Every structure is written in C-alpha cells, then in structure tokens.
Structure 1
Amino acid sequence: MADAARRIMTPEEFFAWQRDQDELYELIDGHPVPRHRMMTGASLQHDQATVNIIISLGTQLKGTPCRPTTADVAIRTSIMDLRRPDVMVECAALVPDTYEAREPKLVVEVASPSTTAVDRARKLEEYKRHPTLAYILLVETLKPQALLYARQGDAWAIATFEGVDAIIDLPAIGARLALAEVYEGLTFAPRRNVATGA
C-alpha cells in the first residue's frame, strides 16, 4: 500500500490495483485512500439506514432501467477522483465486470460523526460536478433528518426533511423515500432541552 499511496494513479490503474486489495479504497487526487480510514468503521445506525435505503429503492425500481448499488461501485467525480457513496442509483444498462457507475442519478451519503464534515464539503462539491446526477442526499443517523440537493438546470435546490413522517420525492428516478422506512429499526437519543439543560 505504501508504494501505491506515493504514486499518482489514473482511475484505470486504480481499478486494476483495487482488485488485489482486501478493503475498499477511494481515489483522491490520484492517490488511493482506504474508505474506512475516513469512517472509522460504520455504526449499526449507519449500517441499518444504508440497508433500509437500498431495500426501499430496490423494491421501487424493480423492472425499471435504474437500480441501487452499494459502496462497491465507484463514481468518477473528476479526472483523478473516485468516490464510493453509501448508496447510488445507476440508470445505465448493466455491464459485467465494470467497477464504476456510468449514468448515476442519485448518490446517498449516510452520515457518521467522522465523515460529516467531508460529506458536506469536498464530496458534496465533487458530486455536484457530475453531469448525470439529479440528486445528492445526505442522511443523518443521530436524528431523523435528511438534506436533499436536487439539480435544477445549472443550479442545485436544497430541501430539508425532518421527522419520520417526511417523504422525499425523487421523480427523476421514479421513486420516493419515506423517512419512516429509512429509519426503521433505529433509535435516537433523547434531545436535550436547551432552555432547561435537561
């Protein structure tokens, strides 16, 4: 790994190298970086929300050209960068033995305390530049809340969804996400009352 981290790789060189590794990497500025170095592992909350999203989208998209993918599939965000969102919806024909999405429409990042800053800064801006993405969804795990960026021409509209009754419409892929389904099986710590300190 040390030799690989020192030299700059093209995405094609990276995918050839990744095949022999025991863990998933992202390509950042041409250098492979372990995906879980940024995550310090995934909590059960993170994992359950990710699985719930895949189940919901997979059920709704069955029989359409679109399908959800896991972090095993990469998205090319620049000439030297490959990211691995927690969930992605790809709407191109399935090509065997390919490692990156060709026509992704949605990326979902499920927040964990160690990744929130990166997800909401650099990765968000990288995703916005991808020409086929219609949506970028950031899902919280400490409270039932999601932030949706929806492409509108050359701009991105932002909407916040709060509470388990909220429903996120995703017409560009013919699906929607109910936060009740996203957070099924999850529990949240009681919120402190700022006024009383309780």
Structure 2
Amino acid sequence: MGDSVLKKEISIKEYVELEEKSLQKHEFFGGEIYAMAGGKPSHALISNNIAAELRNSLKGKPCLAYNSDLAIATAEDEFVYADASVVCGEIESYSEHPNAAKNPILIVEVLSDSSEKYDRGEKFRKYQQIESLREYLLIAQDRVRVEVYSKHENIIFWQYRSYDSLNDVIELKSINCNVALSDIYLGWKKEA
C-alpha cells in the first residue's frame, strides 16, 4: 500500500489521541497504524476537483461532500482515509472514534503507483463492510479513467462501469447527480 507500519499493537484510544495531535494522517487496523504517504500534484489536483464537483452537485440536497481529512470507520476498530467521500444526513460514528464516519454513501480514491493495489484490493474489501456504502470511485491520475463500483440496496454484488473520455459524464446514482470527467480532470496534464 506504500505506507509504513509505525508501531505494533496500539490501542484505539492511543490511535485517536495520536490523530488529534498529529500533522500527518494514519490509518488503523489490525492493532497497527500506517502513516499515509503524500501524493503528486496531479493527485492533489484531481482529489480537489472531484471533492469540489461533489460539493457543487450536492447543494440543496441532504448530503455533504468531505475531503481527505474525514476519517472513515470500516469497522469498530478499523479507520482509514479516502480522497473524498459523501455522507447523507448526520455523520454517524463508533464511540471509540467519534470523528470517523461509519456511514458514507460514496467514497473516492485517486489511484497512485503506491496505492493502486491497496485501493483496488484490501481497502475496497474494507469499504465493502460499510453498510451505507453504495458507490466507490477509482480515479486514475496518470491517464483519463474513472471506474465506478455501484451497489444498490438489497443487491449483494457490485456493478462495474468505466469511463475513459473527457466527454463522458458519470451518473452517480447514490447521490442522484452527474459529474463530467472534464471537470474531474480540469487543469490536469499527463506527466511525462
């Protein structure tokens, strides 16, 4: 996943205290904390663009878009960070970590060389434990490509769609809005 283990067997209480004081974000699962690596400028740009588009699309709706500072609880004792997320209604949390949302409806990850395997595999499996989650977006930063995994209520499988053109518009059914790839990739240039 590109992140490094800092300390073995730390309690949730110790983790929450560390997060409140730290300038760096850490994920927590299996009793271990993992430092989050910084990203390239294209990662920061795309993350900002999608969060802004989600925020704009949700005006007047009962849902709010959050940036990468919102911790996500994938279980009572597992906490991760996404590049962007959407929560409808009030944020719900476990008592152990009151600042980590356990009820996102949509989660976004911008892929990097160091995180792609983790975001597609283990992290996605963790996200699938979240009962409220209905859509998961994976956004490439090295080319124009957005992948959307959707799950509808009472359906046990995830539907997959991909978009590869700046002319494409993604229909996000979970939050009833559309986002253009041209807006997600606004200002983006393929790195040499």
Which interval holds the TM-score relative to the shorter structure?
0.7 to 0.9
TM-score by length of 1: 0.84
Partner letter of residue 69 of structure 1? Answer: Y
Q: Over aligned residues, Cα RMSD in angstroms?
A: 1.9
Deviations 1:110-158 (A, max 9, x none): 0111111111110011111210000010000111101110003111011
The 3-state SS of whatever aligns with 2:125 is helix
Task: Find the aligned partners of 2:128 and 2:63 in 1 and give their Cα distance.
Answer: 20
Task: Find the aligned partners of 1:140 and 1:27 in 2 and give their Cα distance.
Answer: 25
Query: Which residue of structure 2 lines up, in the alignment, with residue 196 of structure 1?
Result: none
TM-score by length of 2: 0.87
In the TM superposition, what is the alpha-carbon distance from 1:85 to its structure 2 partner? 0.3
Task: Find the aligned partners of 2:104 and 2:129 in 1 and give their Cα distance.
Answer: 12
Query: Which residue of structure 2 lines up, in the alignment, with residue 184 of structure 1?
Result: 186
Alignment of 1:15-164 (within 5 A): 15-36=16-37, 41-93=38-90, 98-152=98-152, 153-164=155-166
Number of aligned residues = 181
In the TM superposition, what is the alpha-carbon distance from 1:13 to its structure 2 partner? 4.4
Give the percent of matched residue pairs that are identical in Structure 1 and Structure 2.
Answer: 25
The answer for unaligned runs of 5 or more in structure 2 is: 1-5
Task: Find the aligned partners of 1:94 and 1:132 in 2 and give their Cα distance.
Answer: 11
Query: Which residue of structure 1 lines up, in the alignment, with residue 3 of structure 2?
Result: none
Over 3 Å counting, the alpha-carbon distance change for 1:163 and 1:154 in structure 2 is same
Deviations 1:39-93 (A, max 9, x none): xx21111111011111111111122211111121111112331110000001122
Bigger Rg, structure 1 or 2:
1
More helix by share: 1
The answer for unaligned runs of 5 or more in structure 1 is: 191-198
